[in-house]
Structure 1
Amino acid sequence: MTLLNKIYARLRLIVDRDGRDYLVVRRLQLFDSEYYLSFFATPENTADPLLAYFLRWREWYKNNRFPGAARCQLPDPHPLFDTCYYLLNHFPHGLKRNPFAHYLVKGWKRGWAPSPYFDPETYRQRSSWDGRTGNPLSHYRDHGAPQAISPSPFFDAHWYLDRTPVLADAREWIIRHYKMYGAKDGRKSPLPVFDPSYYLQQTEDNEAARRDPLAHYVRLGEKNGQRPAELFDPRYYRQRYLRKKKHCSPLAHYLSHGVYLGHYPDERIASLSRKPRVSVLVPVYNADHRHLNTCIRSVLYQAYPYWELCLVDDCSTDTAIKTILADWEGRDQRIKVAYHKENTGISGATATAAEMATGEYLGFLDHDDALTPDCLYRMVQAVNETGAVVAYSDESLVGDDGSQLSVSHKPAFNRHLLLSHNYITHFVLIEAHYFRKIGGIGSGFDGAQDFDLMLRAAEAANHVAHVPRVLYHWRATESSSSVNHDTKPYAHDAGKRALAASLKRQGIDAEVVDNHLTFYYRITYKRKENPKVSVVIWREAEHHRAGITAEHLLGRAGYEPCEFLVVDQATENRGDESRSKTVLLDEAIRASSGEYIVLFGYGGSEISEGWLDVMAGTLFHDDNLGAVCGCVSWAGEDGPSYTVPDLDDRSSRYYAEALASMTRHLNGLHNPQLVRCCDWRCCLFEKSLYERLGGFDGHRYPQLLAMHDWSLRLMQTGKQILYTPYVTVTMEEREPFGDDAAAESGEKRRFQEHWQQMLRQGDPFYNTGVVLEQGIPEARFLDWLTGAG
């Protein structure tokens, strides 16, 4: 635009209505230049952004008399004025006058809302504005914003500030900050009940939706029946609760009334066959105020309404804690608060909370952590379906601002993994009657009271259910053991004592010793019997000179009596006869004289001291175990990770390796744990059990997958397989996978066909959430696993 044109434009503005409107907006000083210019990818080169805004509006209106959805692309002049929203709600057929000026001159006097984040009536109720002192946006700028007042049901300023504490100094500009930065993140929400990521999945590639998902939902999404979160169905909510309130927003009504009235946000919750009350127990002591508020809100906004929150202040020295708790108690009758006159520790405070509880189930929540909105619904659904008295979920570790740092994808209940460390942690739900039956919260285990509780619960429970969803956010702080394991050394010792007490209650003759990691423990079992063990060593034809010798194995076994049988492929297959690896091993096992069998694969150069003593001690003490396998190390390294297998590798040998390794890689190679597939390069099992199962199937699986097949047959009998990291075989080099031999490819195909159903049901100890986290569709993973793809 030339200088002459600029002068002409300004003169024209002065003499017509746009000119008068321009002067009104300038006088009120409500035009936000920085916010307006943020809408442009290339900064506008103008000395007067307000003038540019008016000119742009006039040109846009000239070309878009009936603009429809194009309105949503208009740059806005103020964080609390949404042009698209204003036009859609009040001028669906178009408005010739500049909409921002129209609002400031006429709209506010009619009680109209300028954006989803500013509702005049809500602001009137929460502030000193009464309409006699001018427009509400000016009043909000001068009075409401400095107090961080939320001027709309659709923006909870305190929720947003508590979740993003780094913005504490920007509280008076918090909505502006959200509009300019947080909304574009695609994950940050100004409401406990709005999930931006979920909502964006329902919209097409829409710039307006990506710029501010919640505003887009209020403008268009709710009218189209789109969900603001997985467990909020606006159509169902309107049908059930708002039949006579056609113009009332279901989400706004739920936030202001439905949450407190226990309304169902989704039909799936209403249709649950059984709806037990869940008492959430929260011990509180000198909690960070923001984290405590976030914790309480996470229960208040549960989609499942049958809960009570039992908070116990354990004599906090921070006097503000009592005020915060009393305020929350007054908001909802389901929130109960008790105050200790003396500090009793986390166990004592939790015990008091349990005494307050009237629910059929108890849940455990730390004062600086939070539940996801669907947590209680998913947990209740699980106990309804399984009848379990104990259930637990996956969890995420979050930063101070709520950003996700990592996710703990847990296996189905894994008793031996629990005996090495408390992998369950959060979120735990226990039937109240069962909780009291096992003695409630134990004393003397502060810092490890949750570990002690889980050990006692697992000892007597017939079934412990796992919900493979992230339902709990564990806060990572400098003083938290989730980040710094050195902050609570007493907790490690308490966990060690809790584990020792558990073994004693079960009559297990064993000792608990420290592992090399804090909060991890090792159990050494004491044997009372020494049955004969036959050690079968396999040597490949091309590697017949390599491998651990019988003398070396015997010298480091720490156990007797033993016999050693070396199966040398080259020696055994002389002449015209050629028998497979599986057949040769089967013959050796059946010809052995021991009650138990150890298998060793080729290529091992070293083995840990006392290896057989460890394996035998572990296997003999537990009648539920059918086999124990050790850890294979490659020249002292773990080798490639199979936590998430390479689905592009379809070779049979890679498949066999991944199938045997995925669970132990996911759940920690350093942890003893139950697995579904035994590794036949280092394993121990009872000979009679081997024979009862029919031994290896050398016909179907001559070379590669016989042990995998035998393992699955063993699991079907109810027996379990244990992996121990305390027996390590060191291999010098890895065997390259390469291209499939025709025979191996046939083995893989036969294995997948025979075990199709069991493979598709999934490995109970492998959580496919880790696959989804990498952006891999579960269907693709299952196709790789079952050979369907």
Structure 2
Amino acid sequence: MSRLLSSPDALRHIATQVWSPRWVMRNLARLTRVKHTDLLVDDFLRHFETRVSYGHWIAAHERLDAASLVAMRAEAAQLRRRTRFSIVVPTYETAADVLEAFLDSVRAQVYPDWELCIADDASRQPHVRAILERHAAEDPRIRVTFRTSNGHIAEATNTALDMATGDFICLMDHDDTIAPNALYEFALALALDPDLDFIYSDEDKISSDGTERYGPFFKPDWSPEYLESCMYTAHFACYRTSLVRRVGGFRSDFNGAQDYDFVLRFTEHVGKVAHIPKILYHWRAIPGSTAASMNSKDYVVDAAVRALTARVERTGRLAFVRPNRFGGCFDVRRCVEGEPKVSIVIPSAARMSEVRGKPVDLVVNCVRSIVETSSYHNLELIVVHNGDLRPETAAALDAYGVVYVHYADPAFNIAAKMNLGARAATGDYVLFLNDDTEVINSDWLEAMLSLAQRPGVGVVGAKLYFEDGTLQHVGVTFCAGLPDHIRRGFSGDDPGYFFSTAGQRNYMAVTGACMLLRRALFEEVGGFEESLAVNYNDIDLCLKVWERGLRIVYTAQAELFHFESRNRERSVAAHEQAIFLERWGERVKTDPFYSPYFAARPPNFELVLC
């Protein structure tokens, strides 16, 4: 209620609408149907969020004034479980002002139990040694060694790592800075859960002169498939030292992407991972650095491809690893194990529609595109129809060996229809596909199957385009307990927020318009909820899978058209919304894969003041 009273735009809207009996009755009806009225109020207020610049966001959300830092120091002193952090840094020919800024940011930490282990990689500039020796003399927590020969970044990092005695290792670049509360936030997380092996935070960039902060990266919670698309955990992070020793530190063969190679290996051994949703690291964008542009260093991309290739070969059979057309993003594919049978369930009303200016029999077009385009052939095609297939439709489908399932209930219930089709399925996997879709790339099923076979993955969704080539589905997020499609209507060439559209990414849900999972898993979770006859049944299914600890994955490597009308008014029956909110509202009130700092109506990764 306090949020409502403090939103002038929301209050103005209420003042103008309160005289409308229809508006009043509609909203009173919504409130009486659900118990979680706070979720409906949240959803209402989202329409009045104010988009802001990053500078305004910093002013509104960061509390790093002197009084706050004093309070943090006092709280840190009271922690019963105290973690010692070793910040490991190689230096080489670092500019004096940049080196001073880096050192000052570490020494400004409000959490005191740290050591800074620096290995200078045979810098020739005399100021580097002078600055490092002065800071080491002023603070005994700073330890410095000077290498006599230049070994490059991985070898220098290992030299610094050999000096570390802390419980956790933190990595920094010599030209970056950290927020004064960085180690404090890690220490708090470990005090609450000492079993954490890996913690990472959000980050941003700073200009080369240190005067401007920009490009914030508000990251999702632990997302293994996303990590194989890009080095998203990056900075600032801490790693349990015993596991760092186990994986053997850094490998010189991967210089340029040595951190990525290290994290890929390290995370194969971790148990618990935590994400601190705060900007704790400032990555300096010096011209020519990867902070300024990933495309500026070809050897970095090459090293990252080799690191990902090694990762796939450790965890499966390699199909390919290749740079995505967006620099810093990668396409990773494991081979499909065996040749599992996929049952494709297509619920259809046997409609005709206009596509690309011509009349099209949707279900025939869908099935034809599967059969004639797909390179994966161990398929079972199941069309669930209402008993009113036109003779010409049936004849066309017969040519493709379609299995027919008759849905006889006159009441429209897409969930029941899909469940009926699934009961007829004999495949190892079941793929639910709308009849108004059309396959684009031949290896779409290999892309989805290779992910669905990964340990821990439950449901895989595809990249769907409207007829005009704009985005229809690239993942689903939640606002006030209700789902919505991310970046719906954006250009088909949109890379997304830090490659969210271009690569593969973990979410809580994907659309049932194209959704793949193991048939046994589908049956274990009880299939689609038939009380959600029209809407949310696909989201409900994903959440039942996610609740079991399995991951939901979106992949851009499976592309289809979805000829849903882009301009069609989307509406949800109030009783279905009430059922969904009652079941899931509290559990999805916040979305671990979409920052609460982003606008959720529409969910386009735009900063707001909440």
Residue type of the alignment partner of 1:768: P
Deviation at 1:287, TM superposition (A): 1.2
Given candidates 709, 721, 726, the residue that maps to 2:557 is 726
Q: Is the 8 A contact 2:254 2:303 kept in 1?
A: yes
Name the structure 1 match of 2:327: 518
Residue type of the alignment partner of 2:552: I
Structure 2 stretches lacking a partner, 5+ long: 1-53, 354-360, 390-405
Deviation at 1:740, TM superposition (A): 3.1
Identity %: 27
Residues 1:307 and 1:747: Cα distance change in structure 2 (over 3 Å) = same
Q: Is the 8 A contact 1:656 1:704 kept in 2?
A: no
Q: How does 1:47-196 map to 2 (within 5 A)?
A: none
1:770 aligns with 2:561: no
Residues 1:632 and 1:320: Cα distance change in structure 2 (over 3 Å) = same
Q: How does 1:439-458 map to 2 (within 5 A)?
A: 439-458=248-267
Given candidates 363, 368, 374, the residue that maps to 1:557 is 374
Given candidates 194, 202, 215, the residue that maps to 1:394 is 202
Given candidates 303, 308, 311, the residue that maps to 2:118 is 311
- In structure 2, the residue corresponding to 1:480 is in which secondary structure? coil
Residues 1:317 and 1:643: Cα distance change in structure 2 (over 3 Å) = farther
Q: Is the 8 A contact 1:198 1:230 kept in 2?
A: no
- In structure 1, the residue corresponding to 2:553 is in which secondary structure? strand
Whose relative contact order is higher, 1 or 2, with alpha carbons under 8 Å and at least 6 apart?
A: 2
| CA distance in 2: counterparts of 1:392 and 1:686, whole angstroms | 32
1:535 aligns with 2:360: no
Given candidates 96, 100, 105, the residue that maps to 1:298 is 105
Deviation at 1:201, TM superposition (A): 8.5
Name the structure 1 match of 2:548: 717
Q: Is the 8 A contact 1:656 1:705 kept in 2?
A: no
Given candidates 362, 371, 387, the residue that maps to 1:546 is 362
Given candidates 262, 265, 270, the residue that maps to 1:461 is 270
String of CA shifts for 1:120-169, please: whole Å, max 9, x gaps: xxxxxxxxxxxxxxxxxxxxxxxxxxxxxxxxxxxxxxxxxxxxxxxxxx
Q: Is the 8 A contact 2:476 2:484 kept in 1?
A: no
Deviation at 1:353, TM superposition (A): 0.9
Deviation at 1:733, TM superposition (A): 5.2
Q: Is the 8 A contact 2:477 2:507 kept in 1?
A: no
Given candidates 729, 747, 758, the residue that maps to 2:576 is 747
Deviation at 1:697, TM superposition (A): 1.0
- In structure 2, the residue corresponding to 1:770 is in which secondary structure? coil
Residues 1:555 and 1:414: Cα distance change in structure 2 (over 3 Å) = same
Name the structure 2 match of 1:758: 587
Given candidates 607, 616, 639, the residue that maps to 2:440 is 607
Name the structure 2 match of 1:673: 505
Q: Is the 8 A contact 1:533 1:596 kept in 2?
A: yes
Q: How does 1:368-767 map to 2 (within 5 A)?
A: 368-386=175-193, 387-400=195-208, 401-540=210-349, 545-546=361-362, 548-568=365-385, 571=388, 577-620=410-453, 622-635=454-467, 637-639=469-471, 655-657=483-485, 666=497, 668-699=500-531, 701-732=532-563, 734-736=565-567, 738=569, 740=571, 744-760=573-589, 762-767=590-595
Report the TM-score when normalising by structure 1: 0.61
| CA distance in 2: counterparts of 1:542 and 1:554, whole angstroms | 20
Name the structure 2 match of 1:68: none
Given candidates 110, 130, 134, the residue that maps to 1:327 is 134
| CA distance in 2: counterparts of 1:541 and 1:574, whole angstroms | 12
Residues 1:542 and 1:506: Cα distance change in structure 2 (over 3 Å) = closer
Residues 1:637 and 1:473: Cα distance change in structure 2 (over 3 Å) = farther
Deviation at 1:230, TM superposition (A): 2.5
| CA distance in 2: counterparts of 1:334 and 1:392, whole angstroms | 23
- In structure 2, the residue corresponding to 1:346 is in which secondary structure? helix
Root-mean-square deviation (Å): 3.3
Residues 1:275 and 1:481: Cα distance change in structure 2 (over 3 Å) = same
Q: Is the 8 A contact 1:627 1:721 kept in 2?
A: yes
Further displaced range: 596-605 or 292-301: 596-605
- In structure 2, the residue corresponding to 1:512 is in which secondary structure? strand
| CA distance in 2: counterparts of 1:705 and 1:298, whole angstroms | 48
Residues 1:651 and 1:424: Cα distance change in structure 2 (over 3 Å) = closer
| CA distance in 1: counterparts of 2:505 and 2:134, whole angstroms | 46
Residues 1:720 and 1:532: Cα distance change in structure 2 (over 3 Å) = same
Q: Is the 8 A contact 1:538 1:568 kept in 2?
A: yes
Q: Is the 8 A contact 2:475 2:507 kept in 1?
A: no
Q: Is the 8 A contact 1:569 1:581 kept in 2?
A: no
Q: Is the 8 A contact 1:629 1:724 kept in 2?
A: yes
String of CA shifts for 1:31-68, please: whole Å, max 9, x gaps: xxxxxxxxxxxxxxxxxxxxxxxxxxxxxxxxxxxxxx
Q: Is the 8 A contact 2:228 2:330 kept in 1?
A: yes
| CA distance in 1: counterparts of 2:347 and 2:259, whole angstroms | 45
| CA distance in 2: counterparts of 1:774 and 1:549, whole angstroms | 35
Residues 1:644 and 1:384: Cα distance change in structure 2 (over 3 Å) = same
1:361 aligns with 2:168: yes
- In structure 2, the residue corresponding to 1:468 is in which secondary structure? strand
Structure 1 stretches lacking a partner, 5+ long: 1-185, 189-194, 203-226, 234-264, 779-789
Deviation at 1:624, TM superposition (A): 1.7
Q: Is the 8 A contact 1:651 1:739 kept in 2?
A: no
Deviation at 1:439, TM superposition (A): 1.0
Deviation at 1:767, TM superposition (A): 2.2
String of CA shifts for 1:663-688, please: whole Å, max 9, x gaps: x9556111112221121111211222
Further displaced range: 610-619 or 553-562: 610-619
Q: Is the 8 A contact 1:481 1:488 kept in 2?
A: yes
String of CA shifts for 1:312-332, please: whole Å, max 9, x gaps: 211112222111212222221
Name the structure 1 match of 2:43: none
Q: Is the 8 A contact 1:586 1:696 kept in 2?
A: yes
String of CA shifts for 1:517-574, please: whole Å, max 9, x gaps: 3332222222232222221223357656335331221122211221212234583899
Residue type of the alignment partner of 2:191: N
String of CA shifts for 1:679-718, please: whole Å, max 9, x gaps: 111121122211111111112x000111111111111222
- In structure 2, the residue corresponding to 1:273 is in which secondary structure? coil
| CA distance in 2: counterparts of 1:729 and 1:641, whole angstroms | 10
Name the structure 2 match of 1:75: none
| CA distance in 2: counterparts of 1:646 and 1:276, whole angstroms | 35
| CA distance in 2: counterparts of 1:634 and 1:669, whole angstroms | 15
Deviation at 1:197, TM superposition (A): 4.3
- In structure 1, the residue corresponding to 2:135 is in which secondary structure? helix
Report the TM-score when normalising by structure 2: 0.78
Deviation at 1:661, TM superposition (A): 11
String of CA shifts for 1:449-483, please: whole Å, max 9, x gaps: 11011111110101121111110000111121122
Residues 1:304 and 1:569: Cα distance change in structure 2 (over 3 Å) = farther
| Greater fraction helix | 1
